[in-house]
Amino acid sequence: MNDPHDERIILASRAIAKSQNPCCFSGAGLSAPSGVGTFRDPGDGWWSRHDPMKLASPDGFAEDPELVMKWYAARRIQMAHAQPNAGHLALACRPDIIQITQNTDDLLKRAGCDRLIQLHGDITSDRCHGNCGHVEHVDMSNPSLNRYCPACSVWGMRPTVTWFGESLPTAAWALAEEATLNCDLMLVVGTSAVVYPAAALIELASRAGATIVIINSESTAATPLADHELIGSAEEILPMLLGSG
Ligand code: APR
């Protein structure tokens, strides 16, 4: 869908223009055009080639911390070469839109979005696995691997991201829930909508009466909640919807 005169684009744009309190809930598909891997795309999604429990869980880290940190190093180097795409930039042109993202990359931040809630954390830093509170920024183009915490000497610094089996950051979840309940329109961009509790925000917004506008390269678990569903690439559709295309 790349025709700005497509009836579906026009209707969704009108709904967005009427919205007084929009928010955006995004996933890996927003960053995919920047060359950042998604998780569940058949063939090249990370989880179509690796077991998430071995790479993105506390048990996986305990079992093989070297494998986990090497995987994060590969993703960090991939992200270091990535630039915000037209989808990120279109969202950044709308500071009224609160950004609730599952993405741990810094592309929305680098695009200029500062009303940003990262539900699954931030891959650009590591924290002490011993929970002493030490956090350090990571050089994404030359990421460190396994090492002792410089503050408490416990073995194991790990990415400041939420792994499977871990709770979401309390403050981020509270802000995301509040933004969801207060919004009158939710853009749902580039997410398979299968990971909870994050995906529950779509249903929460819909039940609270918000208009749901889905932008995704295929239909997803959230499709039944859509008032508007635009199938295509977020980097093409968002600029048309938000008036920067
Ligand atoms: N434009 C729009 N949508 C796209 C694009 C694109 N250019 N490319 C891919 N997509 C869609 C895919 O079709 C898919 O539906 O984006 C979605 C990405 O889904 P996932 O790979 O499951 O990623 P996401 O929904 O963000 O995963 C949620 O799962 O593994 C955990 O913590 C991880 O935050 C992640 C969470």
Give the C-alpha separation, 5 to 2, whole Å: 9
30-55: average pLDDT: 90
Ramachandran sector of residue 156 (left: φ over 0; alpha: ψ -120 to 50; beta: rest): left
Per-residue pLDDT tens digits for 10-25: 999 999 999 999 999 9
Ligand 1 binding pocket includes 178 (Cβ within 6 Å): no
Please give the distance, rounded to the nearest whole angstrom, from the Cα atom of residue 184 to the centre of ligand 1: 24
Does the beta carbon of 120 lie inside 6 Å of ligand 1? Answer: yes
DSSP at 170: H
| Chain-centroid distance, C-alpha 94 | 17
DSSP letters along 49-107, please?
HS-HHHHSSHHHHHH-HHHHHHHHHHHHHHHHT----HHHHHHHT-TTSEEEE---SSH
Over residues 168-202, the pLDDT tens digits come to 999 999 999 999 999 999 999 999 999 999 999 99
* Backbone phi, psi, residue 230, to 5°: -115, 110
- Determine what percent of the chain is predicted with pLDDT higher than 70: 99
Which of 41, 71, 215, 223 gets mutated to test ligand 1 (max ligand atoms within 8 A of its CB)? 41
For 21-47, letters b (16+ CB in 10 Å) and e give ebbbbbbbbbbbbbebbbbbbeeebbe
Q: Which residues pair with 6 in a beta bridge?
A: none
Q: Is the pLDDT of residue 2 over 90?
A: no
Strand extents, DSSP E, 92-161: 98-101, 116-118, 121-128, 135-137, 157-161
Q: Which CATH fold would you assign to the domain 37-81+122-161?
A: SIR2/SIRT2 'Small Domain' (3.30.1600)
* Other residues' Cβ atoms within 10 Å of the Cβ of residue 184: 16
pLDDT, residue 111, reads 98
Q: Could you tell me the pTM of the whole model?
A: 0.96
Q: Where are the domains of the chain?
A: 1-35+83-120+168-245, 37-81+122-161
pLDDT at 42: 84
pLDDT at 245 over 60: no
Q: Is 104 in the pocket of ligand 1 (CB under 6 A)?
A: no
Question: How much of the chain, in percent, has pLDDT values that exceed 90?
Answer: 90
Lowest mean pLDDT among 51-55, 208-212, 228-232: 51-55
The whole-angstrom distance between residue 19's C-alpha and the CA centroid of its chain comes to: 23
Task: Look at residue 244 in the predicted model and tell me its pLDDT.
Answer: 62
- The CATH architecture annotation of domain 1-35+83-120+168-245 reads 3-Layer(aba) Sandwich (3.40)
Q: Which residues are catalytic?
A: 120
Contact criterion met (CB below 8 Å) for 240 and 206: no
Q: How far does residue 195's CA lie from ligand 1's centre (Å)?
A: 10
Question: Does the beta carbon of 233 lie inside 6 Å of ligand 1?
Answer: yes
Torsion angles phi and psi, residue 30, rounded to 5: -65, -40
pLDDT at residue 3 tops 80: no
The pLDDT mean for the chain works out to 95
